Amino acid sequence: MLDRTAATSWVLGRAAATIVASLYCRLRFRNPYAASEVNTTTATRPRRIAHLDMDAFYASVELLRYPQLKGLPVVIGGGRRREDDLLGKLRVAHPEQEWSSAHLHQIPLDFFPRLAGYTGRGVITTATYAARQFGIGSAVGLMKAAKLCPQAILLPVDFDQYRHYSRRFKAIITDIAPLMEDRGVDEVYIDFTDVPGGQREAGRVLARLLQKSIFEDTGLTCSVGVAPNKLLAKMASEFNKPNGISIVLEDDLKTKIWPLACRKINGIGPKAEAKLKSHGIETIGQLAARDQQWLMDHFGERSGAWLHAASHGQDERPVVTTSEPVNMSRETTFESDLHAVRDRAELGAIFTRLCEQVAGDLQRKGYVGKTIGIKLRFDDFQIVTRDQTIGYFTSDAQEIRRFAGQCLKRAPLQKRLRLLGVRVGALLKAEDAKAGNEDAARAALPAHEPTGQLF
């Protein structure tokens, strides 16, 4: 029988061994130089790629703040949140009670604004599932939504809060499965193939662990699709929303994928869908039945080959863990249309603010750019862009304002404006620009001078 000192040493030794083993596993999968090691095991394991999509992300974050709205039709849209004016109204209506950000869950339902009678120009950013039952969702105009569901509660967007929760759920994912591709504020691709547990039940076990971990940390739910590649995984993540897990195997193509509409393939938009329908092709199975050469003859060589491969569930794209931004932009949609002459002062202030915001984004993320441009949307929804490439890289707000202003002078400004945007492209890391890295600088330049054509 071990004495007390020996027993203590044995326990500490076991604990240390466990910690070292755990660190080894984490470092093995985090180490970018271990790619060759991962690839050797992939050859003997079926590829398992997951697409994780947060459920009604913006709306779900708002329901954390206002749990009394759960189960009700709620839409997120309109102007950005500045200060919660509901608290101000409550302080006036109920001065006997203290109202602060700690009391948001106590706000009575009748104090929340409704869509009924909305007359602004905003659009819906997202909506709860209860609201979607009325046919309203992302990109639907708020005035139209007010007719479809006047009782829906309207909340302003709060991008700072959404970004906060986005960072939180992604940190949880990379701690469990490090090979993650960031695809936006609310969705990611994850390579399960060589992650411990990633092959169990074809990925369902690891997907369940991610769902549980995210919910316990944030209170938010997500849906996960696991398949042999990114194309099928993205489709699968839509099969069982919200808070669902869907598995697609190689043999499931005919039963789970081919009956779907062609539009379910990520990359087939409204125009391609309409053209396919004109040829009698409505489902993915009907698309797969067409000869590849026929598709190439009717849709072009590259597009036709891609359509054929996609309809057969073929996609070899890897999960990319790092990527460089192509451009940075800021834009705003006006509550009411503005005229370039009669509203010049107001437009000038907005234009300056957009340039300052883009400059701030560039400086904060460590980039400079050479191509500066603008985007305009008129009251008839026509969109115009103008760009120019300058002779040096910059992230200075005044420089961006000066060259964006020159682009503005080349745009037709007779009609009233609905939207104004500023963009900086041909980006380069600021340290590369300072070091005179000519190869990186050339790579950042556009292949040709942007023409600023109407589109």
- C-alpha angle 144-269-148 in degrees, rounded to nearest 5: 15
**Active-site residue, 62 included:** no
Give CA–CA dist 26/113, Å, rounded: 48
The DSSP code for 382 is: -
| Dist. CA 161–CA 138, nearest whole Å | 19
Spatial distance between the Cα atoms of 193 and 48, rounded to a whole number of angstroms = 5
Q: Is 218 helix (H, G, I), strand (E, B) or coil?
A: helix
Answer for the pair 365, 424: CB distance below 8 angstroms, yes or no: no
- What is the widest separation between alpha-carbon atoms in the chain? 94
Q: Which residues contact 368 (CB under 8 A, 6 or more apart)?
A: 362, 393, 394, 395, 427, 428, 429, 430, 433
- 96, 187, 301, 431: which one is catalytic? 187
Q: What is the dihedral of CA 424, 426, 429, 431, to 10 degrees?
A: -100
Question: CA 148, 154, 159: angle at the middle one, nearest 5?
Answer: 125
Q: How long a stretch of residues is the chain?
A: 455
- Given a contact cutoff of 8 angstroms between Cβ atoms, the answer to whether 233 and 227 are in contact is yes
User: DSSP class of residue 271?
Assistant: H
| CA–CA separation, 158 and 76 (whole Å) | 9
DSSP structural state of residue 143:
H
Relative orientation angle of helices 159-176 and 204-218, to the nearest 10 degrees? 140
Per-residue burial over 43-74, b if 16 or more Cβ lie within 10 Å, else e, is eeeeebbbbbbbbbbbbbbbbeebeebeebbb
Q: H or E segment at 64?
A: helix 57-65
Catalytic amino acids? 187
